[in-house]
Structure 1
Amino acid sequence: MQQSLRQLSGQDKSNIILIENNKINWNNLIYPQKQHLTLQSPSVMININTKWTQNGLTVAGGCRKGNGFNQLSCPNGFYVDDDLTVYIADFNNNRIVEWKYDATSGLVIAGENGQGNRTDQLDGPIDLIVDKERDFFIICDKRNRRVVKWPYRGGTSGQTIIPNIDCACLTMDQHGFIYVSDIHQCVVKRWKVGDTQGTIVAGGNGKGDRLDQLNSPTFLFVDHDQSIYVSDRDNHRVVKWTKNAQEGIIVAGDQGQGNSLSQLSYPCGIIVDPSSNLYVADRGNHRIMRWRKNANQGTVIIGGNGPGSQPNQLNEPKGIAFDRHGNLYVVDCWNHRVQRFSIDQNLTS
């Protein structure tokens, strides 16, 4: 997710309404009338000169692949809150895990009843939105082909709010619209209360590499103008679709799969900062890159030292996020861990 978004911000509860709609089972989904989401902006201003230490610190998992409370198995999407608690879609363990700051183990908060398709089960959760103030998660339950709303505290089961979708990632904009990438239909759709099909906001013209097409879209980022950035995975590029656009604009990659500074290999998690600099998890190259606005190549900011489990290495990074201090978090999928790379104040100007 969005991991790159703060999924909650406003403390003014006067703008919250409760909507019921039976067409798509959005029952009791709390929706904002005004903006309640903001870019997950750290207190330290991140800019093109910001650097991070090259050795990461494991903040979740890292005890080999497994299903213990101190283990993860192929984590994907995640979210970091203002308390530095990490919420992780623990894909192969079919659960959502809450990992508090400095904890040595996590707490299962959704999907603790094993793999399955019951309302109290998950099967391959791959991404999530966290709204602590509204007291729910929204989970991309991939192998069950559904998007599920789950109570944040004390919930024992979820409720399907979008069925029959090959969800690869989801995020939410400041108006409360949900965006979901459908990896097999090669489309990104926006959903609002009352929708039964969703509105196409990117792709939708079949699988391909034209500017009006996508090929296995995965991670998403939505800015305040409702422009949607898409990791166009199998086209090895990141594409920006402005609101109501008929085709996308390539903002990174599109030079074919490769490891040069102008290329990507199966890009995953993305963040766009307030200066429109793009940060992307370059999964196949085991590195995190930053692309200036309008640049034709990027720079490596983390990793790029080959696949491995050393503190300065990654093995197929997936989600990325900043915390409020400007530290960079990376889901290091095949090392079954989440790494934190501290912002280097000596190298930031």
Structure 2
Amino acid sequence: MQIIKSNFHFSFLILIGCILRPSQHQSISSDWQSSANLSSKGFEFSPIDEQALLLFDIIAKSLISCVKICHSTVPCYIFDFDDQSHRCRIFEGNITTMGSIVASSSSQSRVGSIKLYPEQFTNLGQSCSFCQRSKYLTCINNTCLCPAHTYFNGLICQSQKLLGANCTIDGECRLDLNYICLPRQQCGFASMQTGTIVGGYGNGTGGSTLDALQYPTGLAMGIDNSLYVSDYLNHRVIKLQQGSLMGSIVAGTGVAGSNLNQLNGPTGLYVDTSLNIYIADSKNFRIMFWQRDSSIGVKVAGTGVSGNTLNSFSTVVGLSVDLQGNIYLCDSFNHRIMKFTPNSSDAIIVGGTGVAGNSSYQLNTPCGIYFQDLNSYLYVVDSNNHRIQRYNVDVSTNGTTVAGGNGEGSASNQLNSPYSACVSKITNAIYISDSGNNRIQRWRSGATSGVTIAGNGTLINSYSTSLTGLMDVRLSNNENYLFVSEMYYSRIWRFQLI
């Protein structure tokens, strides 16, 4: 990486500055100087939000001219220059978090970024006489403070962050764009903490009409962006089209029963790419396969009675299916995870031993389950151990704790009786229904703690200020939204993600 130094008022120092650091120019105040890292030729800057970051796009005589223009423009910390077209683009922002250096169609294009040093901000908080001619500090109310669109991070005035960036206080976010630091510790609009009711009655009452639900347990997304709901006490599966609160029955009759067209307390749910439905028919102790648009189902696992053999199970809450058609289920009260291969009546135990425990190879009342096809990872909500376990299917029956596992509690590194989980295909973040804490947690991949997405008073809606009790969670196909079934109040929430 080549380094260029510029000084707008002392142009004869520009070429010397290509070699020397600002601290070596003892006769010149650092208030007047900036240094820039330059990329190799053939690259340009690609901002994540050009409208927010591009200050202006002009023609400059030379690279040095472009550097000088950036230096003389207070918000500028990034620029690129094309030696063929003489196009000079001036940006604000942090080059490491607000965009990327990408290949340019011009072989003569370069990207530069202004380097900042703590000594340039030593006068922060002093009277304005100390920063009258500074690029890096501005006078506000007779005090030297960080310029607009920046915040002090303890060392320098850093660029304020854009939509979705991690934050801890409001000042880190672009306040001029109306971003605040949301409770989920991301910059965004305050409205993003507002939940929308997309299923059931918003006031929390249950019912049996097609616009009502009664204890919705399981959620699944169709490839057509429709939402499927296991309507537990109505003994049916409801399909909700995007934008409509009026559902249609796609499995079950609404009356409890054990015939092939009936269900009794459906819980776990999975919808494949052909919109066929797998249903954990919990009180009938069977897994049903409902072909798309069919009026009856087919039993694909279970005996119809509770058991603990390889072909029977107790209450099933969580259900998932991989691309090969293997069915994974949480045999909750037998403390194990069963895998049924296609056309097999006997399962393979892929997690747990059948006896409750808290070792790496044991489970205690597993509830939710999520299969990630990309890595063949199976995520298990180990409810009474207050943790999420990840298994590498067909490799080991030992689980790895990827969230929680620090005892029952409400701290950011703890969970309390989690019920469900789903995993982002984009970031591998885990979204967890932390039901004992009445909240939804997001644990980034490799994180040792989570942040609250909804619940714990962070939900804003005229119907409710919190989430309560058992909840299932599912991401929309484009992962712009998180759906949450609030079982005790017979309704489905939708939250906007970033």
TM-score, length of structure 2 as denominator length: 0.56
Q: Which residue of 1 aligns with 2:280?
A: 140
Please state which structure has a larger fraction of its residues in helix.
2
SS at match of 2:419: strand
The equivalent of 1:104 in structure 2 is 245
In the alignment, the residues of structure 2 paired with residue 65 and residue 306 of structure 1 have an alpha-carbon distance, to the nearest angstrom, of: 24
Shift of 1:221: 1.4
Contact 1:317-1:330 within 8 A present in 2 as well: no
CA offset digits 1:33-62 (Å, max 9, x no partner): xxxxxxxxxxxxx99758681111000102
Give secondary structure in 2 for the equivalent of 1:266.
coil
Q: 1:230 aligns with which of 377, 380, 387?
A: 380
The alignment status of 1:62 with 2:201, answered yes or no, reads: yes
Matches within 5 A, 1:185-224: 185-223=334-372, 224=374
Query: 1:329 offset after TM fit, Å?
Result: 1.0
Pick from 321, 331, 351 the counterpart of residue 172 of structure 1. Answer: 321
Query: How far apart, CA to CA, are the structure 2 residues paired with 1:108 and 1:57?
Result: 22
Q: Amino acid of the residue matched to residue 193 of structure 2?
A: Q
Q: Does residue 451 of structure 2 align to residue 299 of structure 1?
A: yes
Q: State the alpha-carbon separation in 2 of the partners of residues 142 and 309 from structure 1.
A: 34
Mark the CA change 1:129 to 1:324 in structure 2 (over 3 Å): closer, same or farther. closer
For residue 330 of structure 1, the aligned residue among 471, 476, 484 is 484
Structure 1, unmatched stretches of 5+, are 1-45
Give distance in 1, aligned partners of 2:187 and 2:354. 38
User: Alpha-carbon deviations, 1:239-273, whole Å to 9, x = none?
Assistant: 11123213111111122222111211111221222
Query: What letter matches 2:249 in structure 1?
Result: V
- Equivalent residue, structure 2, for 1:242: 392
Q: Is the 8 A contact 1:271 1:280 kept in 2?
A: yes
Partner in structure 1 of residue 225 of structure 2: 84
Counterpart in the other structure of 2:272: 131
Does the Cα contact within 8 Å between 1:138 and 1:150 map onto a contact in 2? Answer: yes
Is the alpha carbon distance of 1:293 and 1:77 closer, same or farther for their aligned partners in structure 2, counting shifts above 3 Å?
A: same
- Per-residue CA deviation, residues 204-258 of structure 1 (Å, 9 max, x unaligned), is 2511111110011111112222121100011111111123213111111122222
User: In 2, Cα distance between the equivalents of 1:131 and 1:222?
Assistant: 13
Deviation per CA, 1:303-326: give whole Å up to 9, x if none: 112999835421225221221341
Q: Deviations over 1:280-318 (max 9, x none)?
A: 111111111111233222111111129998354212252
Question: Which residue number corresponds to residue 292 of structure 2?
Answer: 152
Residue 142 of structure 1 deviates from its aligned partner by 0.4
- Asked if structure 2 preserves the Cα contact closer than 8 Å seen for 1:239 and 1:249, the reply is yes
SS in 1 for 2:428: coil
Shift of 1:83: 3.5
SS at match of 2:253: coil
TM-score (normalised: structure 1): 0.79
Q: Check whether the contact 1:115–1:122 (CA below 8 A) recurs between aligned residues.
A: yes
Which of residues 404, 420, 428 in structure 2 aligns to 1:276?
428
Secondary structure class of the residue paired with 2:488 = helix
Equivalent position of 1:53 in the other structure: 192
C-alpha offsets along residues 90-141 of structure 1, whole Å, 9 cap, x if unaligned?
01111100111222321112111511112221110002212362x5211100
SS of match in other structure, 1:239: strand
Match of 1:34 in 2: none
* Aligned length, in residue pairs: 298
Instruction: Find the aligned partners of 1:205 and 1:76 in 2 and give their Cα distance.
Output: 24
Query: Relative contact order (alpha carbons < 8 A, sep ≥ 6): 1 or 2 greater?
Result: 1
Q: Is the 8 A contact 2:442 2:452 kept in 1?
A: yes
* Structure of greater Rg: 2
- Which letter maps to 1:321? R
SS at match of 1:247: coil
Q: Distance in 2 between matches of 1:309 and 1:264?
A: 28
Q: Give the secondary structure class of the aligned counterpart of 2:468.
A: coil
User: Could you tell me which residue of structure 2 aligns to residue 265 of structure 1?
Assistant: 416
CA contact (8 A) 2:334 2:354 kept: no
Paired residue type of 2:419? C
> What RMSD over aligned residues (CA atoms) do the two structures have, in Å?
2.4
Shift >4 Å, 4+ stretches: 46-52, 306-309
